[in-house]
Amino acid sequence: MLKSLNFVNRVALSSFSNTRNYVTHVTKDTWGKLVLEAKRPVVVQFSAAWCSPCKILEPALEKAVGEKGNIDFVKLDIDQEPALTENYSITSIPCVFGFSKGEPVFKFFGAIPPPQIKRYLDQLDQK
């Protein structure tokens, strides 16, 4: 019995130790720390719960960021944070920014294909 429990524990732990990045939701209160003062490059997805293209883009974006390994990924709900949405002139969603050292490096709109996402993320490596 003990051997089977140990096996179950190892399987459970290994499922949590994969390379998946878990998305952090950013707010006006955490924006400075998580985006502008971040030590690593950050990808920010401006989205909303009701946005179907946002739901399509998120897994592809999360996978691409996870494969890079040196980039953080955060989401901002435009309905919850209208001031930040306006401050960054978000006119449609999904809208994705790449930040490095607190400065925007790229911006794109829409659910784009994975190879295009990778090209944008490569720009963060060059900064």
Q: How far is CA 53 from CA 48, 60, 66, 67, 112, in A?
A: 10, 11, 20, 22, 10
- The tokens for 18 are 């994969």
Residue pair 40/105 in contact (Cβ under 8 Å)? The answer is: no
- Amino acid identity, position 33: K
Q: Which of 26, 35, 44, 54 is the catalytic position? A: 54
Is 95 a catalytic site residue? no
Residue pair 84/76 in contact (Cβ under 8 Å)? The answer is: yes
Query: Strand 95-100 vs strand 72-77: parallel, antiparallel, or unpaired?
Result: unpaired
Q: Which of 26, 35, 51, 61 is the catalytic position? A: 51
What are the catalytic residues?
Answer: 51, 54
